[in-house]
Structure 1
């Protein structure tokens, strides 16, 4: 019975030693991953430190461009209206002038 208890204790100690070894390896791996992530965050922070300035600069450029496009839209509408007016004038110039029939003349004779 004593041999069984001692054997069980040795097996349990070996199991705990194996688990401790694996936990130590996991700790090293996590430490390396933490260092890598901290370095990546530091590099990203350094690269993106000027990003808010550039984002605001880009947004103002987009707003300026939209204003330019809106101005061009109004100009384009004016050009389209002018072109339509020119087409109307051309169409009227090509139409032959037809005399307006005088319908008032017979009525005037009746009244007179």
Structure 2
């Protein structure tokens, strides 16, 4: 259950990042509200996952999945460049997240 909560918190973290992009520097009200809501919800869910997972592992995986999701959506939705170096860095984050998951079991 803790791993499911961690995944859910990460998905909500991605929603926060997308909302903040659409908020355009806090100039758009509803995306700004959404960003704040998703940020609080993500941290709230993360705290429950951390009850049963090591703090460092949970936090690293949470931020890693969030970074992968936002970087990928940045490429797909916002036209961020998909350079080989950027994709390679995303791949390294994936390796790190999978590695931490395997170590923790």
Fold-level similarity (TM above 0.5): no
TM-score with structure 2 length normalisation?
A: 0.25
Q: Greater CA radius of gyration, 1 or 2?
A: 1
1 or 2, which has the higher helix percentage?
1
Q: Using CA pairs below 8 Å that are at least 6 residues apart, which structure has the higher relative contact order? A: 2
